[in-house]
Amino acid sequence: MKRVLLVSYYYPPSSAVGAVRPSKFAGYLPAFGWHPTVVTASAQSAATQSRGQETMESDGVRPIVYHETEWPHLLKAYERFRERAAARGGRAQEHAAKVILPYAQCYDSTRWGVKRWLLAFLSLPDRETAWLVPAVLRGLREIRHFGTRHIITSGPPFTCHLVGLVLKRFTGVRWIADFRDPWSLRHKFPVFRNGVTDKVESRLIAAVMRHADVILSVTDAMTDEAKNEHTGVPKERFHTLMSGFDPDDFSGITWSRPYPDPVIFSYFGTFYHGRTPEPFLGALKSLLDDGSLKPRDICVRFVGQVSLADGQPVVDMLRYLGVESLVSLHTPVPRHEALKQTLESHVVLVLDERHPVQIPLKLYDAMAAGVTVFNIGSGGAAADVLRRTGRGVSVSYERPADVRAGILECVKRARSAVTMCSATPWEDPAIQEFHFRRLTGRLATYLDTLSP
């Protein structure tokens, strides 16, 4: 069995959503003839550091996982100090919500003066640069010990791709760079940039693109953007490998979807960087006012870091619109519990107003759970997936009438049993192209093409 090194800052037991895709790849690669060794950052709940740890088994082979301790980083140390102070004062949830800047402030390059310059340098290219050296050293040891000739790096954080760049330059390994989000200055908020850091980061991005043997993105829109920005890189290096779902994530969950009276709309995640429930809530208020919906017809649950949306308290938003009796706010829950609540919903909200090239992982989870997906966005990649699969409704956040119509269509689907009621909704043929086992098979094909 051929060996491959997978570099990902996030990996279980980390609860970060960025851990899901790399862990699924590592788990399924042995089924396609590749034995992965994973280099990741130390998780708080990990009992071992810098020591091989085996994880989920596939075809009798377990990936070997090394949790490499991150060196101290000034900005992250300061943030941990603030978090602990907030926790001691009983303000942990409030602090967690406030650290997310309102969307407009992210584009205000006049804010903070010297503080903004420091933030820019400490965020070059992200806040995980203190993990670069430990990850590189572990990677070099593994490559030399096992003779590994293939590596995969998955980001963000994009420091992972810098690890890949260093390993490529030092050892000549074949390298697949996997982008879960786009790495481009056009997607980096001005508040975290300045002229000097832009020049440095643009060169880092170009170097990664130039030296990676295969460049993967999770949507066609991201792939096209990368091709257009890096015209000097051969186009055949760019490929789309979408994210997806794994039926094993639903194993052991006892669930029952209630009769749709009321219809349960759920949102899971964080209201951040332009994602706000305001278009949905405004349309809901309008439907209630004109009698198109009765209060007993609908129940809404926001689960996660949802106390603030674009700097505005969500509770105040609910009170202003008079819908506080229909909407409940809940603190973050573990992924397993989020999946259970997804299965017990009728509609899952996916908001991507200003992120048309990206698709939240929750969309794939919702499709696998057999619920209707209600995408309020800008007609981007998420809308394309829903059109291809027929598994949801997508509307523009800028058109209130369409949002109103979308809510009514979701209620209609729930009541007319269009929502999947199968005991195994993840077996729906319409979504099998997004099964992580099938996606990993495609990843293995890319690795095979790079083999001598």
Percent of the chain exceeding pLDDT 90 equals 70
pLDDT in tens, 385-404: 999 999 999 999 999 999 99
List, in order of start, the domains of the chain with CATH numbers: 2-71+126-244+436-449 (3.40.50.2000), 74-122 (no CATH), 247-432 (3.40.50.2000)
333 Cβ neighbours under 8 A, 6+ residues apart: 303, 304, 341
> 157-171: string of b/e by CB count within 10 Å (b at 16+)?
bbbbbbbbbbbbeee
For the chain, the average pLDDT equals 88
Tens-digit pLDDT profile for residues 209-227: 999 999 999 999 999 999 9
Q: Confidence band (pLDDT; 50, 70, 90) for 98?
A: low
List, for residues 33-51, the tens digit of each pLDDT value: 999 999 999 664 433 333 3
Exposed, middle or buried: residue 421 (CB in 10 Å: 0-12, 13-18, 19+)? exposed
What mean pLDDT do residues 434-449 have? 98
Give pLDDT, residue 120. Answer: 79
Q: What tokens were used for 167?
A: 């390993």
Q: Residue 284 corresponds to which tokens in the numbers above?
A: 């809901």
What digits encode the pLDDT tens for the residues 52-97? 444 555 566 789 999 999 998 887 777 777 677 767 777 666 655 5
Count of all residues that appear for the chain in the document = 452
Residues 341-350: pLDDT tens digits? 999 999 999 9
- Residue 194's pLDDT band, with cuts at 50, 70 and 90, is confident
Q: Helix 400-415 to helix 278-289 angle, to the nearest 10 degrees? A: 70
Burial of 266 (0-12, 13-18, 19+ CB in 10 A): buried
- The average pLDDT across 373-390 equals 94
Give the pLDDT score at 135: 97
Question: What is the spatial distance between Cα 280 and Cα 268, in angstroms, rounded to a whole number?
Answer: 15
118: number of Cβ within 10 Å:
14
Rounded to an integer, the average pLDDT of 237-242 is 98
